[in-house]
Chain A
Amino acid sequence: MSEATGRQAQPAAAPAIGVEALVGLRTKKPRSLWSDAWRQFRHHRLAMAGSVVIVIIAVATVIGPFLWPIKWNYFDMAQSMLPPSLAHPFGTTDLGHDIFARILWGGRISIAVGVFAMLVAITLGTLIGAIAGYFGGFLDSALMRLTDLFISLPSLPLLLLITYLFRDRMAATFGVEIGMFILIVVVIGGLNWMPVARLVRASFLSIKEKEFIEAAHSIGVGTGAIIVKHILPNTLSPVIVAATLGVAQAIITESSLSFLGLGFPPDIPTWGRMLFDAKDWMSFAPWMVLFPGMAIFLTVLSINYVGDGLRDALDPRRMYT
């Protein structure tokens, strides 16, 4: 009785609220998790600045090589090691390449490696974490042992070992550039999925006990649908943060590999490779080091700030503060 009358009594109790106001309330868009996150993210000034920088760098590397008049592989020995000027804003290399053109072109590869390696890591990590967390038991302990094992692997030496052993085979099968790209992306991804697997497993462990999952079971939803449709979307927040930071990590790893001269071949100017080529000329042409290095630093710093902002925005504990 009380419920029905209570509801009817409410307008009477608050006569000040007109019907128009109520209609206005109803047409206002409901706040979703994502709009809340965006609201929060906007207030993180450095994260916003980071996003702007990343967008600028990404757009520049995608369309820049078409707009900049000097091609990345054009070289002129007569113009070697020129300091930055109007014609060559970032100077030229020892062979007379325009550094600006090479940074634009190389950025494509560095960023693409970062993004794809992250996708490999996220896919592997989510798969392993989801299986371990959902099924538990033997499968869980076996997979977690595997995760611990991978965490104990020294990643750079192993990365060097694998690229050293497989690069010729990959180059022969897919061609030098594509082969190296696949190899680096798969290996970096394959050595960085562990944190994601742990995060996803932890989320699965807590979410699978929730009432709405029980409800889904009770109306006969299949295991696959429960995992993919009901649990997975709820683990997204930590995965998105890990993915963002993973891109930065992968860019650094690829640059390290190229910096050691063991990544992409010399005719592909990734940012790390440019540093490798520059380090012997450092005393005469410091700009050969400064600009590619700044490109890596700026990209990684911006991505890290975006990751930080996303962490704040997507963490429900920090919301509404």
Chain B
Amino acid sequence: MSEPLLRLEGVTRDFPGFRLDRVSFTLEPGYVMGLVGPNGAGKTTTIKLILGLLRMREGTITVFGMDSRKDSLAIKRQVGYLGERVALPESVTSRWVASFLSRCFPDWDDSRFEGYLNRFGVPRDKPVRALSKGNRTKLALAAALAHRPRLVILDEPTSGLDPLIRHEVIESLRDVVAGEDRSVLFSTHIVSDLEAIADFVTVINDGRVVASEPRDRLTERWRRLTFRVEDATGRPDARLLDVRRQGATVTAVTGEYGVDLLQTLRQVATGPVEAAAMGLEEVFRYLVGRNRPNGVDDR
């Protein structure tokens, strides 16, 4: 693999009552990573640290091979950012946005910006205050993409949007990330948003990374298992979670599905071991400990 576009190593930051604890993950060029976690898990803090809006206590962040603390301006020239709150002055129009940002970004491309506005159906001459929340988000997204950034950082861009508009924004996002050689870090607590676009998923909970891997691998190793046993007492295997029994039938969930586990279970099962795929949302709930009384073991 080539040099990661974004690398976080042991990033730590303390706040009263919250600690972002040794966060590490990498994002390769050309991939979309979903940074997912419950509200207050540390997603926005992580993004603010990447953008230099906050200072870390420990760790390193490198973007395009550059140190985020030393080369902040050079990094920002190649980053497009869209936050949960669309931070644009309310009295300006899309023309003002283009005029202002073209002076900030050397690679600003007016025709590209216009192209996105057309594609997203954003009115040109209305001030920001007159735009719907969905259109504001789309305008900010067009502004974040028009200078051809190598890395796009989206912090809860769909938060607060109604389901219809959220779907539209996600579709717009999918359009613009598909087939283009850029990387996207997409933070959200709405896991279903990731199903459409994310190649990689990093799950963060209580300030710690609990999983960071390709989405397919994550959904591959998390399975809901059903099998029958003769001895209905005891736990068939330590890798099984949320074990439930109904007579001789056992259902359980595992995050370590594979040949080794299957072989072990076949030794105790009286029939076939059925392994059903789990949705990303369900996997997420297990990873953040919401479906497990014993919590999650950090990996």
Q: Do A and B bind each other?
A: no
A interface vs B, CB < 8 Å? none
Interface residues of B (CB under 8 A from A): none
